[in-house]
Structure 1
Amino acid sequence: MSRFDGLKAEFTAENFRRFAIYCCIPAVIFYLVSLAAMGLGGFTLVETLRDPAQITKQSSFLGFVSSIGAWLWVAAATVCFFRIAAVTWNDNDPHRMLLVLCGWFSAFLAVDDFFLIHDRFITEGILIPLYALFVGYLLRKYYTKIKEIDAFAFLMAGGMLAMSVLVDAVQEILPISYGLSQALEEGFKFVGAASWFYFCYRIAAYRLTGAVTGQSQSPSASE
């Protein structure tokens, strides 16, 4: 069989159906709804479709560190959801629930960071306490599982992000320039995001080999 024949064999009705349902149709719907929503919001097609750097004629590296930070939140959500999809779980498995909560929390933080929700739409005085309460809930509800996996990474992530919030709150009275205080605040935030990504990776990778090779069995049953 030639390579061309092998490639032609991939064009089956089942492959087309799976591709359409899980990829093409959702992407087209999201694309069209986004264009319509942005149009109703007063944005032109060019403003909606082109990158901000192209529209403003600024450097492509403008906000570079901030953009990478948003990617860290997205990556954290991705590894959590991938582990959930890769394994067959028992109902109410604490490992799965921890992955679900951390995945959605990471996704919300990504949206917050990307669209500056805490700066422009919902005040930090509301969002930050909610974030703290959620992290406290994770620690109280899933402390045993977190300790079993990597409590140090969890605490370091929370500590770094808390330091970022603290510096932001007192930066006006710090005996340093505004630029340095911003570097300090964003530095804690960036390392905190990286630490959270590492923690989510640790959750997702925890005993993954045994879980995948025995998918008919719950991961918790092997732990």
Structure 2
Amino acid sequence: MKKELFLILKPKKILQCILIAVIPAILFYVISLNVLMLQGYQTREIIKESADLTDSSSFLGFLSNIGIWLWISSASICFFTITKTKSLIDKGQKKLLLLTGLFSILLAIDDFFMIHDRYISQYICYAVYALLTFTILIGNYKTILKTDAFAFFLAGFFLALSVFIDIIQSKIPFNHHKVQVFEEGFKFIGIATWLYFNANAAAYNSKELKPNTL
């Protein structure tokens, strides 16, 4: 029992957990709560889910929310690989995962807060995203090739197709809702493929293994 207790109460592990998880979580929660309350939001509006606040179905925005999960999953895989498997990845792979992880977080924030729909012109956002994608590709081309270039380009194709439809949808002579089904469908497939690419890029062991095709 003493041995188990010692393993549980290791000072280094306790300090690490408190500094990395507990304190940042408390700060984020308290600061977010206070800032939003100062903006006029009620406590219930801040801490409760949209479906609960509007007395709607729990499936409200289901596919959109799953898409955000996929973005976050991509980022999590990238950052976990960088911090926990340093000996299994080379510098090029680490750089690629850092960039795609940060890009995934950026796109998740955009999707969650609807940045390009409400706050910044979609044309500016799309131009920035295209530039960032091109920069990642040019700066990490060899690493992308050795991990899973097909998945990278396929993800880019579906996401670009979604953006293209979004830009021209007002000129398409079809029902707006039907057009959006295709736009969001291509986007969802693109996000899923992006997750697949990042998972493969993270699983690739340049020193010991061949590319992992999942």
- C-alpha offsets along residues 125-169 of structure 1, whole Å, 9 cap, x if unaligned? 101011001111111111111111111101100000010011112
Question: Where does residue 84 of structure 1 map in the other structure?
Answer: 82
- Map 1:18-57 to 2 at 5 A: 18-57=16-55
Question: Where does residue 8 of structure 1 map in the other structure?
Answer: 5
Report the AA paired with residue 182 of structure 1.
Q
Question: Where does residue 165 of structure 1 map in the other structure?
Answer: 163
In the TM superposition, residue 206 of structure 1 has moved relative to its aligned partner by: 0.7
In the TM superposition, residue 13 of structure 1 has moved relative to its aligned partner by: 3.2
Of residues 96, 99, 118, the one that matches 2:97 is 99
| CA–CA separation in structure 1 for the residues paired with 2:180 and 2:198 | 27
- Map 1:164-203 to 2 at 5 A: 164-203=162-201
Question: Where does residue 108 of structure 1 map in the other structure?
Answer: 106
- Map 1:123-142 to 2 at 5 A: 123-142=121-140
Report the AA paired with residue 53 of structure 2.
I
Classify 1:208/1:38 alpha carbon distance in 2 versus 1 (closer, same or farther; 3 Å): farther
Report the AA paired with residue 133 of structure 1.
L
Question: Where does residue 149 of structure 2 map in the other structure?
Answer: 151
- C-alpha offsets along residues 165-220 of structure 1, whole Å, 9 cap, x if unaligned? 11112222323211110100000000000011111111111117848xxxxxxxxx
Give the TM-score taking structure 1 as reference length.
0.87
In the TM superposition, residue 32 of structure 1 has moved relative to its aligned partner by: 0.5
Question: Where does residue 212 of structure 2 map in the other structure?
Answer: none
The answer to whether the Cα contact below 8 Å between 1:94 and 1:142 also exists between their aligned partners in 2 is yes
What secondary structure, in the 3-state scheme, does the structure 1 residue paired with 2:60 have? coil
Classify 1:106/1:133 alpha carbon distance in 2 versus 1 (closer, same or farther; 3 Å): same
In the TM superposition, residue 6 of structure 1 has moved relative to its aligned partner by: 5.3
Of residues 54, 66, 69, the one that matches 2:67 is 69
Unaligned runs of 5+ in 1: 212-223
| CA–CA separation in structure 1 for the residues paired with 2:42 and 2:206 | 46
Question: Where does residue 215 of structure 1 map in the other structure?
Answer: none
| CA–CA separation in structure 2 for the residues paired with 1:56 and 1:187 | 26
The answer to whether the Cα contact below 8 Å between 1:72 and 1:194 also exists between their aligned partners in 2 is yes
Give the TM-score taking structure 2 as reference length.
0.90
| CA–CA separation in structure 2 for the residues paired with 1:14 and 1:148 | 38
- C-alpha offsets along residues 62-101 of structure 1, whole Å, 9 cap, x if unaligned? 11000000011000000000110013369x9221111110
Classify 1:125/1:172 alpha carbon distance in 2 versus 1 (closer, same or farther; 3 Å): same
What secondary structure, in the 3-state scheme, does the structure 2 residue paired with 1:129 have? helix
- Number of residue pairs matched? 207
| CA–CA separation in structure 2 for the residues paired with 1:8 and 1:103 | 37
Question: Where does residue 218 of structure 1 map in the other structure?
Answer: none
Question: Where does residue 214 of structure 1 map in the other structure?
Answer: none
- Superposed structure 1 runs of 4+ greater than 4 Å apart: none
| CA–CA separation in structure 2 for the residues paired with 1:208 and 1:47 | 48
| CA–CA separation in structure 2 for the residues paired with 1:135 and 1:36 | 36
